[in-house]
Copies of this chain bind each other. A is one copy, B any other.
Amino acid sequence: MEQVNVTLTETISVLLDEKKYTTLRDILVTMKPYDIAAVFEELKDEKVPILFRILPKELAAETFVEMDDETPRLLIPGFSDSELKEVVDELFVDDAVDLIEEMPANVVKRILRQADKDTRKQINELLKYPEDSAGSIMTTEFIVLRPDMTAEMAIKRIRRTGVDKETIYTCYITDDNNKLIGTTTVKDLLLSDDDEFVKDIMEENVISVKTLDDQEEVAHTLSNYNFLALPVVDIENRLVGIVTVDDAIDVIQEETTEDIEKMAAVLPSDKPYMKTSVFGIYKKRIPWLLVLMLSATFTSTIISSFEDALSSMIVLSAFIPMLMDAGGNAGSQSSVSVIRAISLDEVEFKSMFKVLWKELRVSILCGVTLAAANFVKLIIFDLHGNENAFWIALVVSLALIGTVIIAKLIGSSLPLLASKIGFDPAVMASPLITTLSDALSLMIYFALATSILNL
């Protein structure tokens, strides 16, 4: 994909310079909105509006939806009110809302002024829902059927009203109070006899979400049940919107990126990496770096308090990094496995002890393996010719076992505890656990050293 867009962008920008507008239009209409949007991102700013005016109306709107935040910012100020109206009219309400949320206030005013009364009402409704809620990602355009329609009438209704609905494939059946009583699909309607009643075709046991449910939960429900769309209802079970599978996928991708960022001690960002400013990235990264640096005070205090032991056998300090890294790696292996399992609904707090018991056995296996390998390595290489070689190797290897066990137990339990008390498990990942296991492993190390090597 990428590769193609690049060369294409170059061709397009040349054609723009040569004002070959008909040729450009011919090229653009053969392209998918997603690829056209990619071209816009690569195009020089001043060329963006010119190219956009060449697009046929509907394609222009579809492309608009696929654009990153920047491109519309370039375009809209240059729009005449009528041009703006054309785009807004073509947009699905939920896309219009996404667009508006990215725009400065004065632009938002202009957009709302251009939208027809009904659309404006819907947009304002959607803007009320908190970010990351089902309401904020749902669309209010969907097919509603009545229970006493026949399959034939239903299909007729769909053919009449379907044109500006984001999806027609899942249809929703509501009673006279607009309460959701069932769902059906175009497939079921097409495969039933014309005179069958919707109420006999429809699935009555409906899975739905509430407007304030978390978008991540919504996305998981939708993907777990392999739905194409999920109905969103208010507290009175009145149907207010639907979330479509394409939006669900976007949510899954966003939320995963956030989890991964948190695991790496980066504050979650809503912008793609390449589009975030240097200072923007700095602000996302420095807080955790500071916290973790300050928390390293523990480790330095511990080491200082064993200065005498160390100075009497300075070689001990050579193995501190190895011990700490082993602990950090072992811990993050466990924490990351558990965090991912939590976010895929595979583990909950109630299975805490199952997890701990699993991790304890794994950590003993890992610890002993590492210790054995390490012991041999120390005797043969690092401590070659040192008269205390055996005893030092023993201390380091025992400390290694202790470190791995502790690191894995902390790494697996902290995320579960976090999820229990309503914190985000992802924050309990590597860095935090490293700092904790560092301190503990050093204490074990020095305790063993002082007793076994009687320093």
Contact residues of A with B, CB < 8 Å? 1-2, 30-32, 34, 155, 158-159, 162-163, 168-169, 186-187, 190-191, 205, 207, 221, 223-226, 228, 245-246, 248-250, 252-253, 256-257, 259-261, 263-266, 272-274, 278-279, 281-282, 285-286, 288-290, 292-294, 296-297, 299-301, 303-304, 307, 310-311, 314-315, 317-322, 324-326, 328-330, 332-333, 335-338, 340-341, 344-348, 351, 354-355, 358, 361-362, 365-366, 369-370, 373-374, 377, 381-382, 400, 404, 430-431, 434-435, 438, 442
Most buried by B among A205, A246, A259, A264: A264
- Provide the bound-state CA to CA distance between A31 and B32, in Å: 39
Q: Hey, which chain B residues are within 8 Å of A31, CB to CB?
A: 205
Q: Hey, which chain B residues are within 8 Å of A328, CB to CB?
A: 325, 328, 431, 434
Q: Hey, which chain B residues are within 8 Å of A253, CB to CB?
A: 223, 252, 344
Q: Known contacts A341-B273, A382-B304: does B336 contact A279 (CB below 8 Å)?
A: no
Contact call B205/A187, Cβ cutoff below 8 A: no
Q: Hey, which chain B residues are within 8 Å of A336, CB to CB?
A: 260-261, 263-264, 266
Contact call B329/A300, Cβ cutoff below 8 A: no
- Provide the bound-state CA to CA distance between A296 and B256, in Å: 31
Q: Hey, which chain B residues are within 8 Å of A314, CB to CB?
A: 307, 310-311, 314
* Cβ-defined partner of A293 (8 Å) among B256, B374, B438: B374
Contact call B329/A431, Cβ cutoff below 8 A: yes
Can you list 29 contacts pairing A with B, beta carbon distance less than 8 Å? A1-B224, A1-B345, A169-B169, A169-B187, A169-B228, A226-B246, A228-B228, A252-B252, A253-B344, A260-B340, A261-B340, A265-B332, A273-B346, A274-B347, A274-B354, A274-B355, A278-B358, A279-B365, A285-B330, A286-B369, A290-B373, A292-B325, A293-B374, A293-B400, A294-B377, A296-B325, A300-B319, A300-B382, A317-B320
- Provide the bound-state CA to CA distance between A5 and B370, in Å: 41
- Provide the bound-state CA to CA distance between A272 and B346, in Å: 7
Contact call A322/B338, Cβ cutoff below 8 A: no
Contact call B264/A159, Cβ cutoff below 8 A: no
Q: Known contacts A279-B365, A304-B318, A346-B274: does B205 contact A190 (CB below 8 Å)?
A: no
Q: Hey, which chain B residues are within 8 Å of A257, CB to CB?
A: 340, 344
- Provide the bound-state CA to CA distance between A383 and B260, in Å: 37
- Provide the bound-state CA to CA distance between A381 and B298, in Å: 12
Contact call B297/A333, Cβ cutoff below 8 A: no
Q: Hey, which chain B residues are within 8 Å of A431, CB to CB?
A: 325, 328-329, 332
- Provide the bound-state CA to CA distance between A224 and B314, in Å: 58
Q: Known contacts A162-B187, A163-B191, A321-B324: does B34 contact A340 (CB below 8 Å)?
A: no
Q: Hey, which chain B residues are within 8 Å of A318, CB to CB?
A: 299-301, 303-304, 307
* Cβ-defined partner of A320 (8 Å) among B245, B248, B320: B320
Q: Hey, which chain B residues are within 8 Å of A438, CB to CB?
A: 321, 325
Q: Hey, which chain B residues are within 8 Å of A311, CB to CB?
A: 311, 314
Q: Hey, which chain B residues are within 8 Å of A345, CB to CB?
A: 1-2
How near does chain B come to A266, taking the closest CB pair, in angstroms? 5
How near does chain B come to A323, taking the closest CB pair, in angstroms? 9
Contact call B186/A169, Cβ cutoff below 8 A: yes
Q: Hey, which chain B residues are within 8 Å of A322, CB to CB?
A: 293, 296-297, 299-300
Contact call B273/A338, Cβ cutoff below 8 A: yes
Contact call B361/A278, Cβ cutoff below 8 A: yes
- Provide the bound-state CA to CA distance between A266 and B337, in Å: 9
* Cβ-defined partner of A366 (8 Å) among B186, B259, B286, B351: B286
Closest to A277 in B: B358
Q: When A and B form their complex, which 4 residue pairs have the shortest distance between CB atoms, in order from nearest?
A: A296-B322, A264-B336, A226-B246, A299-B321
Contact call B326/A369, Cβ cutoff below 8 A: no
Q: Hey, which chain B residues are within 8 Å of A400, CB to CB?
A: 293
How near does chain B come to A170, taking the closest CB pair, in angstroms? 10
Q: Hey, which chain B residues are within 8 Å of A282, CB to CB?
A: 362, 365-366
- Provide the bound-state CA to CA distance between A223 and B345, in Å: 23
Contact call A264/B333, Cβ cutoff below 8 A: yes
- Provide the bound-state CA to CA distance between A310 and B273, in Å: 41
Q: Hey, which chain B residues are within 8 Å of A337, CB to CB?
A: 261, 264, 266, 273, 281
* Cβ-defined partner of A382 (8 Å) among B224, B288, B297: B297
Contact call A300/B326, Cβ cutoff below 8 A: no
